[in-house]
Amino acid sequence: MRDIVRLDMATGQVTREPLPEKWARYGGRALTSAIVFSEVPADTDPLGPGNKLVFAPGLLAGTPAPNGGRLSVGAKSPLTGGIKESNSGGQAANALAKLGIAALIVEGKPADPGARWALVLEADGSIRLERADEWAGLENYALADAVKATRPADDRYATITNGPAGEMLMKSAGIAVSDPHGYPNRFAGRGGLGAVMGSKGLKAIIVSDKGLKMVESADKQAMMAAVRTFANALTTHAVSGTALPTYGTNVLANIINEAGGYPTRNFSEGRFEGVEGISGETMREITVQRGGNVKHGCHTGCVIQCSRYYMDKDGHYKTKGPEYESVWSLGADCGIGDMDAVAELDRKCGEVGIDTIEAGVMLGVYMDSGEIAFGDARAALDALDQIGRGTELGRILGDGAEATGIAFGVKNIPVVKHQGLPAYDPRPIQGIGVTYATSTMGADHTAGYTITSNVLAVGGTVDPFGTEGQAALSQGLQIATAMLDTLGFCIFVAFPVLDIPEAFGAIPEMVAAHTGQASDVDALMDLGKETLTYERLFNERAGFTPADDRLPKFFYEEPLSPHGAVFSVSDADLDSVHAFVPETAQRLGIA
C-alpha cells in the first residue's frame, strides 16, 4: 500500500491519502509527471501558489533491487517554463519508500514569504512542519550540520535541502539530497526546482528511516532471484563492473575530447588543450594520492558504485568527485584545466545550491561576453560567490546561461527550452543533438541517454556525422530512460541491460515479483511512453511548439573544429521523435 502525502504550505496542514488506482503502476518520473500534468495548470506561475513540487521515489525504491533507489523531483520549471523531472541519487528515495510514501506533494504558498520551514518525517510515520527561520540563508553543508544537531545521535535519516540560491528564487537553483555519509552532495539539479522549493518557504525535508525494514515484495523468492541475476550483470559488465567504479563518469573527458565533441570555451571549439588536467584518469590519481574514497554508492543498494570523494591538498573532503558533466561545464567550457579549481567551483555550486551544468554553461557565456576571461578560475569562483550573496550581478548569473547571455549581449547562447546544453557538442555527434532538441526537459543529456541506442534499435552503429536513424534512436532512448527513471533505476544500469539479455529480462521480473502484476518489456516501454506523453502534453499546454524543439542557430551554421561539422538533422526528423504521443494520449484518455 503506497500513499500520497500532501503538505499545504498555505495552512501548514499535512494529509495522507492512498495512491489512486490509475497510478498504481507508477513511481518516480511517471508519477511526478502524471501529478504535475493532472494538478498543475500549465499556465501557472512556476513560483506561485499554483505550482506543486513533487518528490517521488522510483517504483522499486526501498526494495533490494540493485541501483533502484533514485528520487524524482517534479514541478513546472521556472527555468524552462515546461514540465520538469529532475533525478537525484542519495538516501531520500529509499527512506520515503520505506515509509510507504509514493509521492510527497508540496503545494500552496505560505502567507509569510520571510518564514522558513522544515518538514520532518519520522520513522514512526508521524509528520510535522516546523518553523526554521534560523536556517534562513544557510549554505547546504552548514544546513546539513544544523539538521544533524536536531537529530538523536543514533538516528538514520536523509535530508533534502535548499541553498541560498533557491531561497532567492534563482532559476538555476537545485535541490540537494544527502548521500550515505550525510553530505548534501547529490542534486536534483536541473530546471530550477530549488527556486520552486524556495517559493514554498521550505528549507529542508528530513526523512528518518531508522529501524525500518525494506519494502516487502509480493513474491519475495522471485524478487530475490531476479535481483541476483541483475546484480550479477551489473557487477560483471565491462562498463558498470569495471570502468565506472574505477574512474567514474569523468573517464569520458579524454574520449569525447578525442572525438572533437568536448565543448570548449562556450562551444567555440571541440577539443580542449587542457583536458589532461581534468580527465577522469587524472582525477583518480589525485584522489588516490590524497586518500580519498574512490568507490562508493550514492545510495544504499547501489552495486556499481561510481561515486568518489574529492579531497583538497591537505587530504580533507572537498566535494563529491565531480561528474563528467560538472567537470566539463566548470572546466573545459570555461577554459579551466585545473582539477583543484574545478573541485572548488563544484563545491561552491553545492554550497549555494545551483545546478553545476547550468552554472558552468552560464560561466562560459559570461566569459564569452568578455566581462571575465576564459580560464580565470578565481573570477569564476567570485561570480558563483556573488550568486550566493545575491548581489545585483549574482541575481542575473543565478538565473542561468540564457539570462546571462541576454544581459551581456552574447551571440552564442547554448540553450534549448531556456536550459543550458550539457557536455557533448551535437555537431560531431548528431544523435545527442536530437535528444537535446526534442527532450521534454530542455537540453538534457540524461533525458535520452543515447548510449546503448543502436542496440535498442537493431544493432549496428549510427554514423556520428550522419543524420540517418538518429531520430528513431533518440526516441527509443528517451522512452527507455523515462522507464528507468520511473522504476527508480540509475541510468548506468543501461549498459549491462542492453548488452546482456538476462539483465534486461530481470527488470520486468523484478517489477512483476514486487507488484504481483504481470510485466514484460512492452509494458515497461509503455511506462516510458506514458511518462513522455504527460510531459509533452503539459508542454504543449504551456505554449511550446515545434519551434521549441530546435537547437540554437549557431549549431546549424558555425562549423566546429576539428571536423568542421554542423548539426544537420532535419526539422521533419526532429518532429518525428514524439510521433507516439497522440496514440498514447488516446489510450490514457487524456488526448
Partner 1 sequence: MAESTITLRLFGALHALRRERGLPTVLKVDVPESGITGIELAESLELPVEQIEGLFCNHTVRPLRWMLRPGDHVAFVPLGTPGPHRFFLGLYGAGRGSDVNSTNGTS
**Given the rule CB under 6 A, which residues bind ligand SF4?**
67, 89, 297-298, 302, 304-307, 490, 492
- For ligand SF4, which is the closer residue by CB, 81 or 280? 280
- For partner 1, which is the closer residue by CB, 172 or 453? 453
Give the integer Cα–Cα distance in Å for 571 and 577. 10
Closest distance between partner 1 and the C-beta of residue 138, in Å?
35
Query: Does residue 562 interact with partner 1 by CB under 8 A?
Result: yes
Residue located via cell numbers 526494495: 63
Closest distance between ligand SF4 and the C-beta of residue 90, in Å?
9
Query: For 543-577, b where at least 16 C-beta lie within 10 A, e where not — what string?
Result: ebeeebbbbbebbeeeebeebebbbebeeebbebb
Closest distance between ligand SF4 and the C-beta of residue 188, in Å?
13
**CB-CB contact of 298 with 309 (8 Å):** no
Beta strands in 421-493 (DSSP E): none
Give the integer Cα–Cα distance in Å for 267 and 217. 48
Partner whose footprint covers residue 490, from ligand SF4, partner 1, none (CB < 5 to 8 Å by kind)? ligand SF4
Partner whose footprint covers residue 319, from ligand SF4, partner 1, none (CB < 5 to 8 Å by kind)? none
Q: Count other Cβ atoms within 10 Å, centred on residue 225.
A: 15
Helix (H) / strand (E) element for 453: namely helix 453-457
- For partner 1, which is the closer residue by CB, 325 or 530? 325
Partner whose footprint covers residue 305, from partner 1, ligand SF4, none (CB < 5 to 8 Å by kind)? ligand SF4
Residues 463-482 as x/- pattern, contact with partner 1 by CB under 8 A? xx------------x-----
DSSP 8-state code for residue 493: G
Where does this chain touch partner 1 (CB under 8 A) — which range of 174-182, 228-236, 456-464, 514-522? 456-464
Helix (H) / strand (E) element for 509: namely helix 501-515
Partner whose footprint covers residue 302, from partner 1, ligand SF4, none (CB < 5 to 8 Å by kind)? ligand SF4
**CB-CB contact of 580 with 527 (8 Å):** no
Partner whose footprint covers residue 297, from partner 1, ligand SF4, none (CB < 5 to 8 Å by kind)? ligand SF4
Residue located via cell numbers 509480493: 218
Query: Does residue 455 interact with partner 1 by CB under 8 A?
Result: yes
Grid coordinates given for 551? 537547437
Partner whose footprint covers residue 145, from ligand SF4, partner 1, none (CB < 5 to 8 Å by kind)? none
Partner whose footprint covers residue 315, from ligand SF4, partner 1, none (CB < 5 to 8 Å by kind)? none
How distant, in Å, are the alpha carbons of 26, 102, 215 from that of 2? 11, 5, 10
Where does this chain touch partner 1 (CB under 8 A) — which range of 134-142, 259-267, 503-511, 578-586? 259-267
Closest distance between ligand SF4 and the C-beta of residue 176, in Å?
15
Partner whose footprint covers residue 298, from partner 1, ligand SF4, none (CB < 5 to 8 Å by kind)? ligand SF4
Query: Does residue 43 interact with partner 1 by CB under 8 A?
Result: no
Return the closest-CA partner of residue 478 out of 581, 552, 556. 581
Give the integer Cα–Cα distance in Å for 460 and 466. 14
- For partner 1, which is the closer residue by CB, 280 or 301? 280
Rg from Cα positions in the chain = 22
Backbone phi, psi, residue 475, to 5°: -60, -50
* Terminal-residue alpha carbon distance, the chain: 29
- For ligand SF4, which is the closer residue by CB, 72 or 80? 72
Residues 404-443 as x/- pattern, contact with partner 1 by CB under 8 A? --------------------x----x-xx-----------
Closest distance between ligand SF4 and the C-beta of residue 66, in Å?
9
Residues 46-85 as x/- pattern, contact with partner 1 by CB under 8 A? ----------------------------------------
Partner whose footprint covers residue 275, from ligand SF4, partner 1, none (CB < 5 to 8 Å by kind)? none
CA dihedral of residues 392, 398, 401, 407 (deg, nearest 10): -10
Residue located via cell numbers 527513471: 485
Amino acid at 306: C
Query: Does residue 271 interact with partner 1 by CB under 8 A?
Result: yes
How distant, in Å, are the alpha carbons of 65, 346, 445 from that of 355? 28, 9, 14
- For partner 1, which is the closer residue by CB, 428 or 488? 428
Return the closest-CA partner of residue 159 out of 134, 190, 135. 135
In the set 78, 110, 261, 364, which binds partner 1 (CB under 8 A)?
261
Closest distance between partner 1 and the C-beta of residue 366, in Å?
27
Give the integer Cα–Cα distance in Å for 485 and 72. 7
Give the integer Cα–Cα distance in Å for 472 and 249. 26
Give the integer Cα–Cα distance in Å for 293 and 185. 14
In the set 19, 75, 244, 503, which binds partner 1 (CB under 8 A)?
244
Amino acid at 90: G
Query: Does residue 328 interact with partner 1 by CB under 8 A?
Result: no
**Helix and strand counts by DSSP (H, E) for the chain:** 25, 16
Query: Does residue 327 interact with partner 1 by CB under 8 A?
Result: no
For partner 1 (CB under 8 A), the number of binding residues is 45
Return the closest-CA partner of residue 301 out of 490, 156, 487. 490
Return the closest-CA partner of residue 578 out of 454, 441, 461, 446. 441
In the set 454, 519, 531, 539, which binds partner 1 (CB under 8 A)?
454
Partner whose footprint covers residue 285, from ligand SF4, partner 1, none (CB < 5 to 8 Å by kind)? partner 1
Where does this chain touch partner 1 (CB under 8 A) — which range of 128-136, 280-288, 338-346, 365-373? 280-288
Residue located via cell numbers 515479483: 513
Contacts with partner 1 by CB under 8 A lie at: 238-239, 242-244, 246-247, 249, 251-252, 254-256, 258-261, 271, 276, 280-281, 285, 324, 424, 429, 431-432, 445, 449-455, 460-464, 477, 492, 495, 562-563
